[in-house]
Structure 1
């Protein structure tokens, strides 16, 4: 479960996020959407622990800042950053050891195969394309065996085969009871994945929909109905 409680973030006198609260239950996929400047990126970075903020973030009913919570939380940033001198395989091994992850060697091999990195595993971080770095970032996050995972624009830069695999992985995580939050502007990419959708505008949640509430209404129609057709971030 991921719980956001009265999260507020100011930059000087500018209120970027205004007492935002929402919950993604365990085993569900939440989608965070919002027009440019809505505060979506601030929410994402706050959840990931990259910004100071007021309010609370809970990971499996533990404060997000605690070591126990961090051990079961994974984050795939929009702009992945690699260690120049580590290979693809060493990145995964580094995360595996840092988190004392129970992932097996066989499971690591399967991740590399699924994301077509098996023949790239000895490449250094500074030799990778944006798409390759994105795949490595996803594999590192999955290597933690998280209970809660945050994916920020995860499909940007991925090839069609990797997008297909990532969608399958998200559904597998959901089936395993993992909580997933995806921040994206690629609405068509998450149509078959989402369980609950949060729409932000001007620093607030202005719309929350579950799949049951939406019924047969298209996700894009719901988004544009709330935002008035603004460009998504």
Structure 2
């Protein structure tokens, strides 16, 4: 469960996020949609504890700043960063140990194979491409066995096989009761994943939809309907 109440964040005089509220229950995938600069990444970074903010963020009912809450969630940043002198496998082992995770070696082996890293697990961080770093970052997030997982533009830089695998893994997490929040401007990448959609414009969430309440409408039609911007055919909704 992820709950945000009256979240605000400013950079100097620029108000990046203005009194945002959202709620995603256990076992659902929320997607935060909007153009670049709308404030999506700022929200994700506030949840992850990377930025100071005003308001309240709760992880499974616990304040996000508390250590107990931090043990329950993981984060896949938009721009992954690796330790130069650690191998792929050592990155994952480091995170497992840091979180005191109960993930077993077999689980790590499975993730390495699913993301085509098994034959690259001895490569050092400074030898990895952007796509490989993204895959390692995803595996590091998964090895914590999170109750809540945050992903900021997670498909950027991934090959089609890795995108397919990531979608499958996120649906598996959802089915096990985890809460997922994906921030993206790429609607087509989350079409089959979402349960709740939040649309951002200029630091605000301007509205939301629940998948089980909108019938057969697809994600981009709902997005354009809410924003009032032209759809693919050039008409307004």
TM-score, structure 2 normalization: 0.95
Matches within 5 A, 1:1-233: 1-229=1-229
Quote the offset at 1:26 in angstroms.
Answer: 0.5
What secondary structure does 1:123 align onto?
coil
What secondary structure does 1:42 align onto?
helix
Q: Which runs of 4+ in 1 moved over 4 A?
A: none
Q: Which stretch shows the higher mean deviation, 35-44 or 86-95?
A: 35-44
TM-score, structure 1 normalization: 0.96
Quote the offset at 1:230 in angstroms.
Answer: 7.8
Q: Which stretch shows the higher mean deviation, 102-111 or 35-44?
A: 35-44
Task: Give the unaligned 5+ runs of structure 2.
Answer: 232-237
Structure 2 contact 9–18 (Cα < 8 Å) conserved: yes
What secondary structure does 2:69 align onto?
helix
Aligned length: 231
What secondary structure does 2:4 align onto?
strand
Structure 2 contact 16–39 (Cα < 8 Å) conserved: yes
Tell me the C-alpha RMSD between the 2 structures.
Answer: 1.2
Structure 1 contact 35–227 (Cα < 8 Å) conserved: no
Q: Distance in 1 between matches of 2:174 and 2:30?
A: 11
